Amino acid sequence: MILKAVIIEDEKHSRETLKSMLEEFCKDVQVIAMAGSVDEAVKVLSIYSPDIVFLDIELQSGVGFDVLNQIKDPNFEVIFTTAFEKYAIKAIKFSSLDYLLKPIDLDELQDAVEKARTRMDTNVYREQLDTLMQSISKGSTRPEKICLATTAGMEFIAIDDIIACKADGSYTSFILENNDTLLVSKHLKEYENLLSEHQFMRIHNSYVINLKKVKKYIKSEGGYLIMNNDMQVNISPRKKDNLIEAMKRL
Contact by Cβ (8 Å): 39, 67: no
9-18, 87-96, 140-149, 201-210: segment of lowest average pLDDT: 140-149
Contacts 24+ apart (CB under 8 A), 18-22: 18/54, 18/81, 18/104, 21/104, 21/106, 21/109, 22/109, 22/113
Mean pLDDT of 162-170: 96
pTM over 0.95: no
pLDDT of residue 222: 82
Residue 129's nearest CA partner among 101, 102, 159, 92 is: 92
* pLDDT surpasses 60 at 70: yes
Of 93-102, 117-126, 159-168, 212-221, give the range with the top mean pLDDT: 159-168
d(CA 144, CA 151): 23
Residue 91's nearest CA partner among 147, 10, 151 is: 147
Residue 214's nearest CA partner among 246, 182, 188, 185 is: 246
Mean pLDDT of 85-113: 90
Q: What percent of the chain has pLDDT over 90?
A: 72
Residue type, 239: K
* pLDDT surpasses 60 at 140: no
d(CA 236, CA 238): 5
pLDDT of residue 139: 59
Mean pLDDT of 217-222: 87
Predicted confidence band at 172 (pLDDT cuts at 50, 70, 90)? very high
pLDDT of residue 18: 98
